[in-house]
Amino acid sequence: MVTSLRPVRAADTDALIRLIADVYREYGDALRLDENPFLADAGAFFREGGGEFWVVADNERVVGACGLLMHADAGEITSLYVDAAERGHGWGALLVLEAIAHTVNAGRDRLYLFSDVRFASAHRLYRRLGFKEMPGRRALGDSLHSIEIAFVLDI
């Protein structure tokens, strides 16, 4: 049973990498740590600029994760992942709501994110929580040839 949503700890690194690698595999992809350097210390990376990185965990098992970067005028959600077996239980929404609260508490009135075009269930979540899809797409130029959709929420 998953019991907590909390800020990531250094001890979560291996479990966090496992979670994200598992989600990548669902889409036939492989996680490359060289393209995700924040995973070496997610807490330090996100907290440096006033953001945060949360996990949903039960003891040492991480089943959900979400990062929030803070910019001068807005927050940016990154790296929202939920284990396939835990989807549909509200963990993704809980993580996004935590990011919204942190953004408001930081004095920002806008939150945005970019999401791979393949993550249709996540897109439904964002829309349900009030995010609006922005026109156009962006290509990351990464090893996965990712194409992303932008979503924005005015708070």
Quick one: CATH architecture of 4-154?
3-Layer(aba) Sandwich (3.40)
Over the stretch 27-73, which tens digit does the pLDDT of each residue have? 888 898 988 999 999 999 999 999 999 999 987 799 999 999 999 99
Overall average pLDDT of the 95-112 stretch: 98
- The dihedral over CA atoms of 67, 70, 76, 82, expressed in degrees to the nearest 10, equals 10
Overall average pLDDT of the 88-106 stretch: 97
Residue 48 is encoded by which pair of tokens?
């440096």
Is 90 exceeded by the pLDDT of residue 92?
Answer: yes
Distance separating alpha carbons of residues 146 and 153, to the nearest angstrom: 23
What's phi and psi for 49, nearest 5 deg?
-100, 15
pTM: 0.92
Lowest mean pLDDT among 9-18, 67-76, 81-90, 139-148: 139-148
**3-state SS assignment for residue 64:** strand
Overall average pLDDT of the 3-17 stretch: 94
Distance separating alpha carbons of residues 137 and 93, to the nearest angstrom: 24
Tell me, what's the pLDDT at 28?
Answer: 85
